[in-house]
Chains A and B, each alone.
Chain A
Amino acid sequence: MYSDNHIKVLPAVDNKRPVNLDIGSISLPITSYVSILHRVSGVILFFAVAVFLWLFDASLSSPEGFESVKAMFANPVCQVIVWGSLAALAYHVVAGVRHLIMDFGVGEDSFESGRNSARLALGVAIVAIALVTGWIFLW
């Protein structure tokens, strides 16, 4: 039988665990930056969903709404908002697919392979963001 003592003692021990690794004081490998950017882009996307729904709503509201979405791509403020949302999406999807591949046991055997796939993901994401940039600002 467990007494109340056991239940009360455990969380208290938990809370007093010391933190020995101060992340701010060490230099991080590329895998860390790829991971942090995945989180940052995810938080941006949480708000970008509103941008996507707004575009989706306007484009399906009426023929005039559809045309207004097309016309909006000529407005610099809208361009920057949509570009930021799509750039975050492009990065997040690429970094996410890297995770999915690793979940199947590919490329998660050593730090070397993790570092290589992080470099690859960053490269693919840069190409995807370049395409998004070209589509919004140049096309």
Chain B
Amino acid sequence: MVTTVTSLGRSGLSDWLIQRVSAFVMTAYLIFIVGYLVMNPELTYAQWAQLNQALPMRMFSLLTILSIAAHAWIGMWCVLTDYVTVRLVGPKATAIRIVFQLGMIAITLLYVIWAIDILWGIQVNG
């Protein structure tokens, strides 16, 4: 009960699916970025800024940071509920786990805000 309230989808099946869809998005983004950097070894700031401020690329980047947030939330939830337990940590496990989980959620949301700030602040002409 205490574990489900901090899960992302409030259901194991929902978390399972979100974990896989987000993994797919992040893998596609990684392949694109690595491919782009390999094909443009003499990359300049203007080129890089132009790519990243184009709307389709902003959407792809935003989709990826949202996937990172969901994926990290679910993954960290799994690890914390597996190891920060009464059996392994002691009677204060639930309190300790809630603190860690809320901290993890806060960091995750800050990552999303930071990414939006970067993406919508790009100046092509420096």
Contact = CB atoms under 8 A, between A and B. Distances in A.
A89 B75 CA distance: 14
B59 interface: no
Nearest to A50: B111
A106 interface: no
Contact of B45 (A63, A89, A97): A63
B32 interface: no
B63 interface: no
Nearest to B110: A50
A42 interface: yes
Main SS of chain A's interface residues? helix
A60 B58 CA distance: 13
Interface centre among A11, A19, A66 (most CB of B within 10 A): A66
A67 B126 CA distance: 12
B20 A53 contact: no
Contacts, number: 60
A49 B72 contact: yes
Given A11-B1, A60-B49, A96-B27, A49 B20 contact: no
B36 interface: no
A100 B49 contact: no
A34 B17 CA distance: 22
Interface residues of B, number: 31
A42 B111 contact: no
B62 interface: no
A49 B73 CA distance: 13
Interface string A26-54: 00000000000001001101100110010
A103 interface: yes
Interface of B: 1, 20, 23-24, 26-27, 30, 44-46, 48-49, 52, 68, 72, 75-76, 78-79, 86-87, 104, 107, 111, 114-115, 118, 121-123, 126
